[in-house]
Structure 1
Amino acid sequence: MTTYFKAVLKLLAFGLDARFEELSKLAPQPETRVFLSAHSRTPWSEVGPYRGIHIMRDPRDIIVSSYHYHLWTNELWAHIPDENGQTYQEKLQAVDKTEGLFMTIRHFIFFNREILETWDLDDPNILEVSYDDLMGDQRDAVYSEMFNFLGLQGQEHELGVRLMRLFEAGKRSKVSATKTNEGAHIRSSRSGQWKDELEPEHVAYIEQELGHVLEKFGYARTPVTGSSGAI
């Protein structure tokens, strides 16, 4: 999604003759009209008037995707040695898939639990869009709704919709679900992958720690039997 929307928004900003920024935790510059907040940590009180789109995917699918991606990513943070001289990627590659997924779950919880727990679903200036809807058969209607919400009309609205179609994530994710190296950023767009990849112990631990988050964003818990959920 980050790669997808960065491509769309950069070209949209160019077409609007507007300044684009990709941010992590900071507010955009005053002259910025279009920005991407990849980790949903924008300090909204510092932004001023805004309209935004928030994309939410099942955290369990994000965890599975992150596990495979972090096995080979070239992102700098994954290659910085810790106090023992070992990088996150080296630690992930040194363990089997079961433990690697537990590592990824703990990493996800550490960096994302607070933002998910405190996210305001009732902000009238943010349109909540489900990943499933964005990737579904009715996605053209979702594209139109998104740019209507952002206040784009006429040619500007059409530009946004056409860019979404051009970089459509569904077209860009036809990579085999087993391909986790060779620089393939996109694996698969399919929802519910976690059901095939997570073990009952993983699911139990996620629901123990993030069950309230799943429910908040409309994702059903899955009953798990025969597992204590201990790690």
Structure 2
Amino acid sequence: MTTARFICIGTHHKTGTIWMRKVWRAISNDQEIPFMQVYRPKRLADLPESGPQICVNWSSSFPRRLMNMPEARFIHIIRDPRDVLLSGMRYHRVAPLANEKFLRIPNPEWGGMTYQKYINALETDHERLIFEMENKHHETLEQMLKWPYGHEGAADIKYEDLIEDTDCAMFRGILEGFAIEGLDIDRAVQSYWDLSLFGGLKKDDDRSDRVNLHVNSGAKAQWVRKMPREIAEIYAERYADALKTLGYAEDSSWVETCRPAAEIEAAAA
């Protein structure tokens, strides 16, 4: 393959975006590698003619021309959609509006209320989870499914594996395989460890307020404990194929793992 110069990082909403943004900003600052968001093809005119470049897209919707460039390599991160649903509903109720534009746009379908006001106006978590499922979550899941899996220049990673990469072996292995010209792998791995929940951010006091707002728990498969059976049944009916395609569930037997909402609420009390 052609020598790689462009390292491109793609995530989806609630799949480690804040984490990756901090990691790659730190790598950029430490190694003086240009950093830019790339959503529109016109940004490709800003790519340097030599040396490395960090390109990010937080919906993993990179321009096709960049995807086809032989000198580009991609890290693409997905997460169990069931955990994305739970995390999204919780976060969207309290997220600062300056951080998420879609939360503050009035919608006539919701009586002129914004996403955040509407979801908070609902009376139960059941209603909130259904609303989230039918709106931002559906959009995020569609983006995950649209990614060109199997791309020869891409490493497709599950958030669940990355959050357990406590010795940084996975992250290092990907960078070594990519061999990005001008990227110091040892320093990049150090930045990654410094800004990971299993590393430099293990203690709450070491995290910024924004990171704490996003991170309720870094654990995987939170849906086992927190997704009500009533929601799981609806989710499986709508998204069983998506879970299978993304490698998270072969069938819908997982629904039986979930407890009824009343049991979850009683345990929390």
CA distance in 2, matches of 1:102, 1:116: 19
Q: Please, which moves more after superposition, 195-204 or 125-134?
A: 195-204
What SS class does the counterpart of residue 174 from structure 2 fall into?
helix
Q: Are the equivalent residues in 2 in contact too, given 1:133–1:139 (CA < 8 A)?
A: no
Equivalent position of 2:35 in the other structure? 20
Instruction: Please report how far the alpha carbon of residue 51 of structure 1 lies from its aligned counterpart in structure 2 after TM superposition.
Output: 0.1
2:102 counterpart of 1:77 = yes
Of stretches 26-35 and 198-207 in structure 1, the one that deviates more from structure 2 is 26-35
Are 2:187 and 1:159 aligned? yes
**Aligned partners of 1:53, 1:209: CA distance in 2, in Å?**
28
Matched to 2:32, the amino acid is D
- In structure 2, stretches of 5+ residues that fail to align are 1-15, 48-52, 205-209, 257-269
Equivalent residues of 1:174, 1:187 under 8 A apart: no
The match for 1:200 among 209, 226, 229 is 229
The partner residue of 2:145 within 117, 127, 145 is 117
Matched, 1:191 2:220: yes
How far apart are 1:194 and its partner, in Å?
1.2
Cα deviation, residue 16, structure 1: 3.6
Shift of 1:64: 0.5
Q: Following TM superposition, where does structure 1 have runs of at least 4 consecutive aligned residues deviating by more than 6 angstroms? A: none
CA distance in 2, matches of 1:61, 1:16: 34
Q: CA deviation at 1:174?
A: 6.2
Q: What is the match of residue 229 of structure 1?
A: none
The equivalences for 1:99-110 within 5 A come to: 99-110=127-138
Q: Residues 155 and 82 from structure 1, CA distance in 2 versus in 1: closer, same or farther, beyond 3 angstroms? A: closer
* Identical pairs, percent: 22
Alignment TM-score, normalising by the size of structure 2 = 0.72
Indicate how the Cα distance of structure 1 residues 60 and 90 shifts in structure 2: closer, same or farther if over 3 A, else same: same
- Are 2:89 and 2:132, in contact at CA under 8 Å, matched by a contact in 1? yes
Q: Which is further off, 131-140 or 54-63?
A: 131-140
Preserved CA contact (<8 Å) 1:59 1:214: yes
Q: Which moved more, 1:110-119 or 1:128-137?
A: 110-119
Please state how far the C-alpha of 1:168 moved relative to its aligned partner.
0.6
**Alpha carbons of 1:31 and 1:135: their partners in 2 closer, same or farther (altered >3 Å)?**
same
User: What number of residue pairs does the alignment pair up?
Assistant: 218
In the TM superposition, residue 153 of structure 1 has moved relative to its aligned partner by 7.5
Structure 1 residue 31, shift from structure 2 partner: 3.2
Give the whole-Å Cα distance in 2 for the aligned partners of 1:197 and 1:128.
Answer: 27
**Partner Cα distance (2:179, 2:246) in 1:** 25
In the alignment, what sits opposite 2:175?
147
Q: Given that residues 64 and 194 in structure 1 are in contact (C-alpha distance below 8 angstroms), is that contact kept between their aligned partners in structure 2?
A: yes
Counterpart residue identity of residue 82, structure 1: N
